[in-house]
Amino acid sequence: MPTEPKHDIQKDLKGWRMAPAPNRPAYQDGDGKIRVPLQLTKNGRHRADPERVLLLSEAALPADHLTNAMTTLDQR
C-alpha cells in the first residue's frame, strides 16, 4: 500500500536560491581558509549574505573541476 512521505524537503526548499554574491569575490582569511560570499534569496527577495568557509584542500577540488570544464570548452 503506497504511503505519502511525512516530510517533503522539496516543498520546503521551493523558491530558495543560493548564488555567489555579486561584486564580492572569494578571499582567504587570516586563518588560511577560503571564504566564498553567497547571497540567499527566497522567491527573488534577499534574505541573507552567508559565507561558505572552506579549507584549502576543500577549495582545491571544485577549482580543479572548474578548470577541467573550462579546458574542455576551449577544446571544442
pLDDT, one tens digit per residue, over 13-44 is 788 999 999 899 999 999 999 999 999 999 99
Residues 6+ apart with CB under 8 A from 26: 34, 35, 36, 37
- Is the CB of residue 49 less than 8 Å from the CB of residue 21? yes
Pairwise pLDDT comparison (14 vs 47), residue with the higher score? 47
The pTM of this model reads 0.66
Give the pLDDT band (50/70/90) at residue 9. Answer: low
